Amino acid sequence: MVPDAVNLASVRRALVVKLRHHGDVLLASPVFQVLRNRAPHLEIDALVYQDTRDMLMGHPAIAQIHGIDRGWKREGLASQMRFESTLFHTLQERRYQLLVHLTDHWRGAWLAQALRPRWSVAPARDNRLWRWSFSHRYPLPRGTPRHTVETNLDALRRIGIYPGEVEKRLVLDPGEEAIARVDAMLAQAGLGPRGFIHVHPTSRWLFKTWTEESNAELLRRLVRDGHHVVLTGAPDAREKAIVARIVEEARVPVTDFSGQLSLRDLAALAGRARVFFGVDSAPMHIAAAMGTPVVALFGPSGEKQWGPWNVPHRVVSSDHHPCRPCGNDGCGGGKVSDCLTELPVDRVHAALNELLTRQ
């Protein structure tokens, strides 16, 4: 037990801050549950970017979700300051006794000083202002990779809260409306629960994607094997075009829901699938959160930090590129990752078959 553990009995409200992308926010969902399990009386709020709040909507341990709109900056300085002031006063009125900051974003240090909680915890940084802002700081992994879920939970370990294995699962609730909407779409396509493979071939980050030709060949093989395939993709015009080209090249019957689903719809769909296939992206984490077996491709990002969490899975990655995971946006910053584009369809097909036969 750490000597400066926080006494949760004296904490009435806590604020957990995670200002990152969708998948990152979802991987922080166990933090809220562990806090609630240890202190059922505690009101726990979340502060995230507005476009990621769906990752935490319906979380049973969260009292309120506060959002920061990235678009505020485009409204002009006066409007941005007005939005920021409204948010700050809302947070101030909550009178938090504990602040859990899960990144090295400087807003956390500012909030720790401005809201003046009795306790505050954040990743360690070699900076005097940062050290002065937080009562507790936890070290980030050095050398040996550590999964992001565990790194998030390190914030709680630092203040004397030790999660059990069962508590570490991701928490995602699509909601009854999304489930009903997706079930209706599947029924119209003649599909039911566990009657299809969910394929999400795209990513907002091009350097994380496989080739369109390889995706098309995989679809041909899956349909030839007798599987029904449901394709999804973001409503972004570029991603919709990628999916359309894959479908056109594959020339096999698939169900294409690309551009038609919200994030909560996507979760409901993933929860109905036999297996999910995709790249390192938010949809992959969503499928894992829904308990669906996952086959994921990894290139420049590391599977030890970002792999499918707590579900049966297979990671397909290159054995011939010692430079990975490099963390770069493509080889030489060119948006294309050789360690991904050169992955053979045979390996991906075999990984899917292996998971399917184990069900």
Three-point CA angle 339, 345, 349, nearest 5°: 125
Tokens of 310: 């707590």
pLDDT digit string (tens) for 147-176?
Answer: 999 999 999 999 999 999 999 999 999 999
Q: Which of 108, 107, 104 is nearest to 123 (CA)?
A: 104
Mean pLDDT by 10 residues, the chain (359 residues): 93 97 97 97 98 97 96 86 93 98 94 97 94 95 92 98 96 97 98 97 92 97 98 94 96 97 97 97 97 97 96 95 92 91 96 92
- pTM for this structure? 0.95
Question: Is there a cis peptide before residue 325, judged by omega within 30 degrees of 0?
Answer: yes
The pLDDT, as a whole number, for residue 152 is: 98
The pLDDT, as a whole number, for residue 142 is: 86
The pLDDT, as a whole number, for residue 186 is: 98
The pLDDT, as a whole number, for residue 358 is: 84
HEC states along 168-202?
Answer: HCCCCCCCHHHHHHHHHHHHHCCCCCCCCEEEECC
Domains of the chain (ranges; CATH) run 8-168 (3.40.50.2000), 176-357 (3.40.50.2000)
Alpha carbons 6 and 161: distance in angstroms, whole number: 8
Alpha carbons 151 and 181: distance in angstroms, whole number: 35
